[in-house]
């Protein structure tokens, strides 16, 4: 069974279960002809297809680097799962199902490594000015804004990194419209395929995708800044789209093939990386269920990036539920759809990236 056949079957399962129970930025992103020739792109759309969410980018072109915010001003149930060995996160303990806070109001994905966590403070300031947050008392509301960062400090001048003001500006840019993809926001400084050194790596970026599960009303969407040490594959064809390039810079080394042959088994640092992303659904989920969906979404990472979840990655997935759809759902199906959407978002992250000096993009290699 192919992944496409699996996805179609899964949509049918979700539909049966539910039947039983019942633009940010200044540029648009083209979605035509984005897959390799001969490949049908049926999973399109963006994170904001889930109503109630806004997405905004701040991109600092001087380096480049940036941050991306997700605003859920009416609140959203959230979960998180961290699989990489070198994470940079903020407020993830609050998302533990046993802890008190039940909803978040914003989410921040940022470049800049640990320095970039400061961008979430700007998101808090923006929400605080609007009186949005967890009600501590009648007059006090504390915005809950989890965050995760990726390592992009080796691209350009590392002294330039996202700040609290960057997060605030991203909030001002946020809209419920289609999400701009490519080398923007948290994906501005993202690269891929770094096991053999930056001289053989490629430019990556930020991608998004959504799935509407038949006529059930369920929407599951994903957004990701792909910045892994491994190569990015097309899950449908199994071919490498972006990754560690060969000596002539025109082909691929195939990182896993090299590891199987013994490379880096007893030596070598794999660099500093991290893929950070978020999935969202309009289905009603508890914190525990959102956490399970976040866990299952990492399968989407594994389908599109290899190797993944290494000690040098801080791979993190957040899961959001707006709860607009009140009918009961099968959490396993939501998680499986989330993994599908995430793998597609990773593919789109590399295919929509724009190359910079020293880091060619997928598009550059097609010329």
Strand segments, DSSP code E, in 184-227 are 191-192, 202-203, 206-212, 219-225
Phi-psi region of 325 (alpha: psi -120 to 50; beta: other; left: phi over 0): beta
Phi-psi region of 150 (alpha: psi -120 to 50; beta: other; left: phi over 0): beta
Sign of CA dihedral 277, 283, 289, 292: negative
* Complete domains list, the chain, with CATH: 3-25+47-366 (3.60.70.12)
- Helix or strand (DSSP H, E) at 116: none
pTM: 0.86
Residue 66 has a pLDDT of 98
Structural Rg of the chain based on CA atoms = 19
Q: How far is CA 125 from the centre of its chain?
A: 23
Tens of pLDDT, residue by residue over 73-98, are: 999 999 999 987 888 999 999 999 99
Q: How far apart are CA 218 and CA 327, in angstroms?
A: 10
Q: How far apart are CA 90 and CA 95, in angstroms?
A: 10
Maximum separation of any 2 CA atoms in the chain, in Å:
64
Tens of pLDDT, residue by residue over 257-316, are: 888 888 766 555 555 788 999 999 999 999 999 999 999 999 999 999 998 888 878 899
The answer for residues whose C-beta is within 8 angstroms of residue 264's C-beta and 6 or more apart is: 195, 258, 270
Tens of pLDDT, residue by residue over 11-30, are: 443 444 333 333 333 333 33
């Amino acid at each position: 069974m192919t992944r496409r056949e699996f996805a179609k079957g899964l949509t049918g399962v979700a539909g049966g279960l539910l039947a039983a129970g019942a633009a940010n930025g200044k540029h648009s992103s083209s979605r035509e002809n984005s897959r390799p020739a001969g490949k049908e792109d049926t999973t399109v759309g963006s994170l904001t297809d889930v109503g109630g969410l806004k997405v905004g980018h701040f991109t600092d072109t001087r380096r480049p680097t940036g941050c991306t915010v997700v605003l859920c001003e009416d609140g959203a149930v959230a979960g998180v799962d961290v699989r990489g060995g070198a994470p940079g996160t903020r407020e993830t303990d609050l998302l533990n199902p046993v802890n008190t806070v039940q909803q978040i109001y914003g989410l921040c994905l940022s470049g800049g490594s640990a320095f970039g966590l400061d961008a979430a403070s700007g998101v808090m300031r923006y929400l605080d000015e609007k009186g949005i947050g967890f009600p501590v008392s009648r007059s006090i509301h504390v915005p809950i804004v989890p965050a995760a960062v990726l390592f992009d400090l080796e691209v350009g001048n590392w002294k330039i990194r996202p700040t609290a003001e960057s997060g605030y500006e991203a909030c001002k840019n946020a809209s419920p419209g289609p999400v701009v993809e490519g080398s923007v926001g948290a994906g501005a400084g993202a690269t891929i395929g770094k096991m053999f050194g930056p001289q053989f790596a490629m430019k990556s970026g930020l991608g998004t995708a959504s799935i509407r599960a038949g006529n059930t009303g369920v929407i599951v969407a994903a957004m990701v800044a792909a910045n892994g040490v491994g190569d990015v594959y097309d899950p449908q064809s199994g071919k490498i789209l972006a990754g560690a390039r060969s000596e002539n810079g025109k082909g691929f080394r195939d990182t896993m093939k090299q590891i199987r042959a013994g490379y880096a088994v007893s030596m070598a640092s794999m660099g500093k990386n991290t893929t950070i992303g978020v999935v969202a659904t309009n289905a009603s989920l508890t914190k525990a269920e959102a956490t399970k969906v976040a866990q299952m979404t990492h399968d989407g990472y594994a389908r599109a990036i290899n190797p993944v979840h290494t000690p040098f990655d801080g791979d993190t997935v957040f899961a959001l539920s707006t709860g607009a759809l009140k009918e009961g759902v099968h959490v396993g199906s939501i998680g499986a759809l989330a993994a599908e959407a995430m793998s597609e978002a990773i593919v789109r992250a590399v295919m929509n990236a724009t190359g910079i000096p020293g880091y060619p993009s997928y598009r550059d290699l097609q010329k």
